[in-house]
A and B are shown apart, each in its own frame.
Chain A
Amino acid sequence: MEWEALILTFKLAALTTIILLMAGLPIAYWLHQTKSILKPVFETLISMPLVLPPTVLGFYLLLAFSPNNALGAFLDQWFDIQLVFSFSGLVVASVVYSLPFMVHPLISGFKSIPTNLIEASQMLGKSNGNTLWHVQLPNMKPAILSGIVLSFAHTIGEFGVVLMIGGNIPGETKVASIAIYDAVESMSYMEAHQLSFMLFAISFALLIAVYTINKKHTNLLGK
Chain B
Amino acid sequence: MIDLAFSKTLAESTQDLILEARLSLEQGSFTAIYGPSGAGKTTVLRIIAGLVTPDTGTIIVDGTPWFDTYQKRNIPPQLREVGFVFQESALFPNMTVEENLNYARSKSQNAKWVQDLMDLTEIASLKNRKPDTLSGGQKQRVSLARTLVRKPRLLLLDEPFSALDDEAKQGLQRMLHTLHKEMKLTTILVSHDMAEIMQMADRVIKLDHGKVVADGQPQKIFLQQGVSSKFVVTGTIVNIEANDITSIVTVAVQSNLVQVVIRSKESNQWQLGDRVMVASKAFNPILLKAHTAD
Contact = CB atoms under 8 A, between A and B. Distances in A.
Interface of A: 114, 116-117, 119-127, 134-135, 138-139, 220-222
Contacts of A114: 88, 90
B274 interface: no
Contacts of A117: 90, 92
A114 to B, nearest CB: 7
B284 interface: no
Contacts of A116: 86, 88, 90
Interface in B99-118: 103-104, 106
Given A116-B86, A221-B132, A123 B93 contact: no
A221 B94 CA distance: 9
Contacts of B106: 125
Contacts of B83: 123
Given A124-B103, A221-B132, A135 B92 contact: yes
Size range of the interface on B? 20 to 34
A36 B181 CA distance: 46
B77 A134 contact: no
A121 B94 CA distance: 13
Given A122-B77, A123-B147, A124-B146, A221 B90 contact: no
B23 interface: no
Contacts of A122: 51, 76-78
Contact of B103 (A119, A134, A139): A134
Interface string B76-87: 111101111010
Interface of B: 49, 51, 76-79, 81-84, 86, 88, 90-94, 103-104, 106, 132, 146-147, 149-150
B150 A138 contact: no
26 contacts: A116-B88, A116-B90, A117-B92, A119-B51, A119-B84, A119-B90, A120-B84, A121-B103, A122-B76, A122-B77, A122-B78, A123-B49, A123-B77, A123-B82, A123-B83, A123-B84, A124-B103, A124-B104, A124-B147, A124-B150, A127-B78, A134-B92, A135-B92, A135-B94, A139-B93, A139-B94
Most chain A beta-carbon neighbours within 10 Å: one of B76, B79, B90: B90
A220 B93 CA distance: 10
Q: Is the interface of A mostly helix, strand, loop or mixed?
A: helix
Among all A-B residue pairs, the 5 with the closest Cβ atoms: A120-B90, A138-B94, A123-B84, A116-B90, A124-B104
A121 B92 CA distance: 9
Contact of A125 (B88, B92, B93, B150): B150
B61 to A, nearest CB: 15
A123 B80 CA distance: 8
A138 B130 CA distance: 14
Nearest to A120: B90
Contacts of B49: 123
Contacts of A123: 49, 51, 77-78, 82-84, 147
Contact of A120 (B79, B81, B86, B94): B86
Most chain B beta-carbon neighbours within 10 Å: one of A122, A124, A126, A222: A124
Nearest to B99: A134
A37 to B, nearest CB: 19
Contacts of B88: 114, 116
Contacts of B86: 116, 119-120
Contacts of B90: 114, 116-117, 119-120
A25 B83 CA distance: 30
B92 to A, nearest CB: 6
A220 B78 CA distance: 30
A121 B146 CA distance: 11
B86 to A, nearest CB: 5
A126 B106 CA distance: 9
A118 to B, nearest CB: 9
A126 B78 contact: yes
A215 to B, nearest CB: 16
Contacts of A139: 92-94
A135 to B, nearest CB: 6
Contacts of A127: 78
A114 B146 CA distance: 18
